[in-house]
Chains A and B, each alone.
Chain A
Amino acid sequence: MADTVATPKAHGHGEHHDVDYLHDGSLLSWMTTVDHKKLGVMYLWSVLFMFFLGGVFALLIRMELFSSDPSKAMMDAQTYNKVFTLHGAIMVFLFIIPSIPAALGNFVLPIMLGAKDVAFPRLNLASFWVYVTGALIAVTAMVTGGVDTGWTFYTPYSTTTDGSVALMTFAAFVLGFSSILTGVNFIATVHKLRAPGMGWFKMPLFVWGMYATAIIQVLATPVLAITLLLLIMERTFGVGVFDPKLGGDPVLFQHFFWFYSHPAVYIMILPGMAIISEVIPTMSQKTFFGYKATAFSSVAIAIVSFVVWGHHMFTSGQSQLAGAIFSFLTFLVGIPSAIKVFNWITTMYKGSISLEAPMLYALMFLILFGIGGLTGLFLGAMSVDIHLHDTYFVVAHFHYVMMGSTAIAFLAGLHYWWPKMFGRMYNESAARIAAVLVFIGFNTTFLPQFLLGSRGMPRRYYNYLPEFTFLHQVSTVGSWILALGFIIMAGYLFASLRKKFDAPANPWHGRSLEWQIASPPITHNFHEVPVVTAEPYDYYRPFEPSVKGHH
């Protein structure tokens, strides 16, 4: 436990600390480490495993929906309902929410600020094990009866159905704490641990995005925790809060749930935007266009995201006036996102653009987020949303945002920082092939779902009318292409880990601090405290390193 990382030392030049962090310590020391890099890596493998698990459930859903003929069913309706619930719950609570902040953010954010670690390293370790505990509880719920409520746990279905709903809800409750702890840690780190010279507007935009995300995590997640506790109380002890039979109100649950879960959409997308704001200027070797606008729009999105939850409830029976206000605010929250897209594109203008894997994913993000964001206009418009609500249109829309944008940005970040994290380069050609397959597979899977939804196909349907067969089959074939892309990706990433360290310190010619230290970094990150003089993206003038004395 005597890890010296957390101990501030002016010049930690001991021999021990010059070892790269990957080879510094036994397995046990990894389990109890307070090093943000090791925790980031452990988070990374955890969320990747969860992504794999959620992906398997997704493939099962698409397989079942390949045919509407009951005699060709793979599973019964009850099983299907559990499978789509687990797909959603795993992807949201165990993959997307922790993916970028906890895995990549943990690794990169302190280095970008010029710090040796996050502000509360032990809290960081606690957060990881709380996450693992939550994941284990979720797995227990899956194998002891499963859950068939959908990831939204709507009452009174969730309080009356069989299965391990209380346990799964408790897992989400526990996972929430992991999220809150990471958020608190990041806020404190950004405020207190910036290196000398690192003013707020010299921070890389990734840090701004993480900061905005952390604010939402800390403010919104407790509401989810309270809601889920109330649900458990009602289900286990019959306390009437949501079930009208017990004197409760089922729509109240939806208000509580979306009061967290809409901001949570931004917990998911802001980190994605944060990565893109890093990858595009570096890969384009170009100053960021509209740095402040992008930084402030992250914070603006974080704030406005708290007052748009009712747009999930236009058909729920909430008052028309409330619906109108939520609709209006929903349109407003789209504007900062639009500004960001224009900023990213303009950043590429007259750049020197490399089309290596991280940039391919960033370009993919611009296109897929374009579709995901623009289709939000249909859903913000009340009269149109009434028709599209709870259809495949919504399924397609949020997959373009959650997967097409956040998960793709995560992949951009993974490919961008992989050499830094593991000290090895992956096979670039294989990476490009996988990227193209992911892009084709993703669109083949989800574009037809917009059409299905417009034509009236409701979501969460085990079976469907014959007229929807063709589009469902196209979508299923798309999921196979997507899976193939991911298999190739797993192949070249694992293959790279078998090599000796071969990554240069700065493979993409970046200028933020993480590119000025070794790949992989030493345990202390920096030999000496860096003094920041340059802007993070000043590619218009010769490079002026802030870190002295690196290899």
Chain B
Amino acid sequence: MNWLREWMMPLQASEHAAKVDNLYVFILLLTSAFFVLIVYLTVLFAWKYKRRKEGVLTINFQHNLALELVWSIIPLMIVIGIFFWSFNDYAAANVAPNDALEIHVTGKKWNWTFEYPDGTRSIRSLHVPVNKPIRLIMTSEDVLHAFFIPALRIKQDVIPGRYVDLNFTATVAGKHQVFCAEYCGRDHSGMLGDLFVDSPAKYAEWLEKGDEELYKMKPADLGKMVWEMKGCNSCHTIDGSKGEGPSFKGLFGRTEKFKDGSTAVADENYIRESILNPQAKVVAGYEPVMPTFQGLLREIEIKGVIAYIKELK
């Protein structure tokens, strides 16, 4: 029955997908048999008992207990069997092992955003290592969406104001389609994404390098995103007002005075040093409270922050 499955269903990219397909094909064959029976009897009777003479009386056949029991009990047994089969597979697919890799998914008209445990973010592309249990923790920022990966036979509505789980273990490396399956307005049909199932090495390499979207962004825009996402904004304002740390506004090119009395012009190297080794030069009037971002930011993100500060004249 492989040809039937391959014709009707997308590629199988997980063991769960194979289980779903087995039940699908089983129900297909079963219902086809019943359908053939219905059509056969309908056509047979319509043809065989076609009216040949007007005004004839027909037989009085109103009951047959055996027949009625058979066609009630057999379907009942079959559907109860299907229920248990399907519930079993459904329940198994909803259990996340303890070592599952947790990735946060956010739906917002009309994009998917993904956040990985190390803080990496990606838009529209979800990267996961092959054969590793994944637990998606999903929410929406506006209306309902649904995260649907046909190759894995999984789907879950994404709800604003609530977290919902989706668990899977992809076993086939490659690129798989992601759809939004809950109607969400104008670009609902454009709210697509790609699931990249990579070898562990390739996944690690991707995490190291960051999402390809980062490389397409204007450096200052990327810097602004880092300022928001990495918490810079909790201490450094961009409007000149005083926070826990100096404001970014007008910072670039300014001559800063430090606690030890020395001074320096805030250039690219100064900013880089302040991010990676913030205690080296502490501006006078501020406490040495900034943590180091060594290992937390990629080179491209540091460049982005520098570009962003340059823009805040």
Contact = CB atoms under 8 A, between A and B. Distances in A.
A437 interface: no
A331 B80 contact: yes
A317 B162 contact: yes
Contacts of A349: 45, 49, 61
Q: Which of A148, A334, A349, A367 has the most CB of B within 10 A?
A: A349
Nearest to B85: A381
B58 A77 contact: no
Interface string B132-159: 0000000000111010101001111101
A486 to B, nearest CB: 24
Contacts of A355: 46, 50-51
B1 interface: no
Given A350-B58, A383-B89, A540-B58, A327 B83 contact: yes
A291 interface: yes
A157 B19 contact: no
Interface string A355-367: 1000100010011
Interface string A337-351: 011011001101111
B185 A148 contact: yes
A157 B60 CA distance: 57
B51 A290 contact: no
B109 to A, nearest CB: 9
Given A250-B160, A346-B67, A455-B10, A384 B184 contact: no
Interface stretch (A31-39, A114-122, A127-135, A387-395): A387-395
Contact of B181 (A334, A339, A391, A462): A391
Interface residues of B, number: 82
A456 B35 contact: no
Nearest to A377: B27
A338 B49 CA distance: 23
Contacts of A348: 42, 45-46, 49
B201 interface: no
Nearest to B182: A390
A353 interface: yes
Interface in A211-228: none
A370 B51 contact: no
Given A287-B58, A390-B181, A454-B9, A382 B49 contact: no
Contact of B35 (A81, A287, A374, A460): A374
Contacts of A236: none
Contacts of B154: 386-387
Interface stretch (B90-98, B217-225, B252-260): B90-98
Given A352-B53, A540-B59, A339 B71 contact: yes
Interface in A232-282: 243-245, 249-251
B75 A382 contact: no
A293 B69 CA distance: 11
A335 interface: yes
B99 interface: no
A287 B189 contact: no
B186 interface: yes
A396 B174 CA distance: 31
Contacts of B283: none
Contacts of A465: 177
B293 interface: no
A324 interface: yes
B310 to A, nearest CB: 37
Contact of A461 (B28, B38, B188): B188
A65 B61 CA distance: 50
Contact of A458 (B24, B86, B156, B181): B181
A160 interface: yes
B210 to A, nearest CB: 28
A540 B82 contact: no
Interface in A268-323: 284-291, 293, 315-317, 320, 323
A157 B183 contact: yes
A381 B185 contact: no
A150 interface: yes
A30 interface: no
B117 to A, nearest CB: 23
A77 B189 contact: yes
A371 interface: yes
A377 B25 CA distance: 12
A456 B183 contact: no
Contacts of A377: 27, 30-31, 79, 82
B83 A328 contact: yes
B58 A539 contact: yes
A22 interface: no
Interface of A: 77-78, 81, 148, 150, 154, 156-157, 160-161, 243-245, 249-251, 284-291, 293, 315-317, 320, 323-324, 327-328, 331-332, 334-335, 338-339, 341-342, 345-346, 348-355, 359, 363, 366-367, 370-371, 374-375, 377-378, 380-387, 389-391, 451, 454-456, 458-465, 509, 538-542
Interface of B: 8-10, 19-20, 23-24, 27-28, 30-31, 34-35, 38-39, 41-42, 45-46, 49-63, 67-68, 71-72, 75-76, 79-80, 82-83, 85-91, 93-94, 142-144, 146, 148, 150, 153-157, 159-162, 164, 177, 179-190
27 contacts: A77-B189, A244-B160, A245-B161, A287-B62, A315-B156, A320-B90, A327-B87, A332-B79, A345-B42, A349-B61, A351-B45, A354-B51, A363-B46, A377-B82, A378-B27, A378-B28, A382-B89, A383-B86, A385-B86, A386-B153, A387-B24, A387-B153, A390-B146, A391-B181, A455-B8, A456-B10, A459-B181
Given A348-B42, A389-B181, 12 more contacts: A250-B144, A250-B160, A290-B62, A315-B156, A316-B157, A332-B79, A334-B75, A353-B45, A353-B51, A382-B90, A386-B153, A456-B179
